[in-house]
Amino acid sequence: MENQVLAEATPSPWTPRSLSPLTPEQTGLVDRLVPTLTPEQRVWLSGYLAGWDASARPTPQLDQPGAGVLEVTVVYGSQTGNAHGLAEEFADRIRHAGLSVKLLSLADFPPRELRQTEHLILITSTQGDGDPPDNAIAFKEFLESRKAPRLEQLRYAVLALGDSSYEYFCKTGRDFDQRLQGLGATPLHPRVDCDVDFVEAAQRWMDQLLETLCAEATANGTETVRVTVSRRTVSQAVAFSRSNPFRAEIVEHVELNGRGSDRSTRHLELSLSGSGLTWEPGDSLGIYPQNEPNLVRALVEAADWDPALVLDDGRTLGEALTSQYEITVLSRILLEKLVAVTEASALSDLLRPERQEELRRYIVGRDLVDLLHDLCLRGVPAREFVTALRRLPPRLYSIASSSAAFPEEVHLAVRLVDYCTDGRVRYGVCSRHLAERAVGESVPVFVQRNPNFRLPADPHAPIIMIGPGTGIAPFRAFVQERQALGADGASWLLFGDRHFRTDFLYQSEWLQAMRQGALTRMDVAFSRDSSRKIYVQHRLLEHAAEVYRWLERGAYVYVCGEEQNMAPDVERALTEIIMRNSGSDSDGAAAYLAEMRASRRYQRDVY
């Protein structure tokens, strides 16, 4: 009877009806869906179905979760949200395995509890050249102080996130690992250091560590572990994410800088309609870019490669260098990998310990084309060479709009990065890619949540927003959100750039926000309009007494922008303001800021 019903339906072009394992209802759904798909969508669907079994992740589970299982504490240090997201995912997996788990930011983990903690899982990022994320600063200072207790009872594991283009790659995670061992703690699992393409390495670490935790629970004699296969649901599989980006159409592309500016900043509006993606002010949009075509051609020519060479994954070499591999950044880690695959003596010589400072200077601002030319590496085997390259990572841009004001679309403020070194013009990978995209084109995107950069829950709380250049982007979202929700807390914006006439980003919008009462106060600093360069930190100091009054009234302070110079300069200005007006010394001012950070009244999104 079932075969008779199947035979009466319109046959699928790829499977004889008599061999189909589908129910009639499933067959009808397939037959209605497939004719509506574009060729690109059919390719995606076939790849998705082919990868379904491979995507199943074995999840250890306890037969009888409950009393008697070991307790696991998962803590994270996170600046942009990556470590936070991984910690949440791992805590969920531990919970589903039947173990008891606590999930905390390092800012919320009382150091005194270390003495009672037996299983600690620490996931942390590293900021810039070796700095801890803001919510890990106090815990790291405690752990490295004389107050830190002996921890012989503690078993722990560390997952470190970082960027290998920085000299002190994953330093915060390495520091935690070494210090915990120094205090007598025992590793549950070896530390893993993840580069910007961290997803696969992090998942392997979670898989292995969860097996270890469940095996220990079994060894304790309180539970028996069984392994089940946890398959993704259809809704999870098609959800758009970092690993499954949504193609967002560009619906607006406008130059923000005025005529005559030596800078170019683009206002982009992207439609997320139909994506199901949600976001809050403070979140970022991740974008997967492509390398600049001229740079790819220059690299292929410098190495004497055939761009039509087909690699093991089926892509041509030209395609892989365009959209898959990072080719604009040099690092010691990359050069060490290239030595292993090319056996180039010139590379080995550059990596000698006595040339460390020379190497540090060399890699700044140079790319693979420079390396091939400078070290005469023409003719190196392409297949081996690309295995040393890291994946082209997504770039994150602060979302410059509120979903309450602009549903189903996100706005970005993107500054085009271009500069000239060693006789060649260099471009920022993603900023150049976006600058060349026209309205109607699309780019692959995902939402990167950042719980560490959020408006206060209290709509009456005052806020101070400090954002020079494109650091102003999230504050456009903040003001829109507060206006849309009717928040009446006072707001103060400090913005800086080079020239008032050409570089006052979103000027008309800020003036309108002030007229409407959505923005209480704005101070600006244009560094090239006077003989003495004026920056946002100078404006803070000029209004030190007023800034301190806002702080004493409970103001939240937000800083967004460049990490290396601007953010430290702003923090020094805040420290001086507190010292001037409170009568405290530098230690007292540091404690004041530390308390603000702990209560989330001092938040930074720096890069």
Quote the tokens at residue 481. Answer: 């959100």
Residue with tokens 């319109």: 10
Q: What is the per-residue pLDDT across 507-545, written as a single tens digit (0 to 9) for each?
A: 999 999 999 999 999 999 999 999 999 999 999 999 999
Residue 241 lies in a domain: no
**Residue where one domain finishes, among candidates 358, 387, 416:** 387
Q: What is the per-residue pLDDT across 83-124, written as a single tens digit (0 to 9) for each?
A: 999 999 999 999 998 899 999 999 999 988 999 999 999 999
Residue 263 lies in a domain: yes
Q: pTM of this prediction?
A: 0.82
**Residue where one domain finishes, among candidates 364, 387, 410:** 387
Residue 605 corresponds to which amino acid?
Answer: D
Q: What is the per-residue pLDDT across 14-32, written as a single tens digit (0 to 9) for each?
A: 333 434 455 555 555 565 5
For the chain, the straight-line distance linking the first and the last C-alpha, in angstroms and rounded, comes to 65
Q: Assess whether 214 and 70 both reside in one domain.
A: yes
Residue 456 lies in a domain: no
- From the list 512, 452, 457, 439, the residue with the least C-alpha distance to 480 is 512
What is the per-residue pLDDT for 227? Answer: 40
**Residue where one domain finishes, among candidates 230, 254, 272:** 230
Q: Assess whether 303 and 215 both reside in one domain.
A: no
Q: Assess whether 169 and 252 both reside in one domain.
A: no
Residue 240 lies in a domain: no
Residue 321 corresponds to which amino acid?
Answer: L
Q: Assess whether 538 and 478 both reside in one domain.
A: yes
Confidence of residue 505 (pLDDT cuts 50, 70, 90): very high
What is the per-residue pLDDT for 345? Answer: 85
CATH (domain of 314): 1.20.990.10
Q: Assess whether 127 and 163 both reside in one domain.
A: yes
Rounded to whole angstroms, how far apart are CA atoms 245 and 238? 10
The DSSP bridge partners found for residue 504 are none
CATH (domain of 442): 2.40.30.10
Q: Assess whether 332 and 438 both reside in one domain.
A: no
- Specify whether the CB–CB gap between 191 and 177 falls below 8 A: yes
Query: For residue 105, what are the CA distances in angstroms to 138, 447, 600?
Result: 11, 21, 12
| Apex 449 CA angle, 477 and 484, nearest 5 | 25
Q: Assess whether 154 and 83 both reside in one domain.
A: yes
**What residue numbers bound the domain in which 13 lies?**
2-54
Quote the tokens at residue 47. Answer: 């790849």
Q: Assess whether 409 and 265 both reside in one domain.
A: yes
Rounded to whole angstroms, how far apart are CA atoms 309 and 456? 54
Higher pLDDT, 234 or 330: 330
Q: Assess whether 270 and 342 both reside in one domain.
A: no
The answer, yes or no, to whether residue 441 has pLDDT greater than 90, is: yes
Residue 237 lies in a domain: no
Q: How many domains does the chain have?
A: 5
Residue 217 lies in a domain: yes
Rounded to whole angstroms, how far apart are CA atoms 187 and 122? 11
Confidence of residue 372 (pLDDT cuts 50, 70, 90): very high
Residue 524 lies in a domain: yes
Helix, strand, coil percent content, the chain, rounded in steps of 5: 40, 20, 40
What is the per-residue pLDDT for 30? Answer: 62
Q: Assess whether 263 and 412 both reside in one domain.
A: yes
Q: Assess whether 358 and 502 both reside in one domain.
A: no
Residue with tokens 């550059």: 350
The answer, yes or no, to whether residue 579 has pLDDT greater than 50, is: yes
Residue 405 has phi, psi (to 5 degrees) of -95, -35
Q: What is the per-residue pLDDT across 60-79, written as a single tens digit (0 to 9) for each?
A: 544 444 445 689 999 999 99
Residue 22 lies in a domain: yes
Residue 255 corresponds to which amino acid?
Answer: E
Q: Assess whether 441 and 346 both reside in one domain.
A: no
Helices 544-552 and 566-582: crossing angle in degrees, nearest 10, is: 80
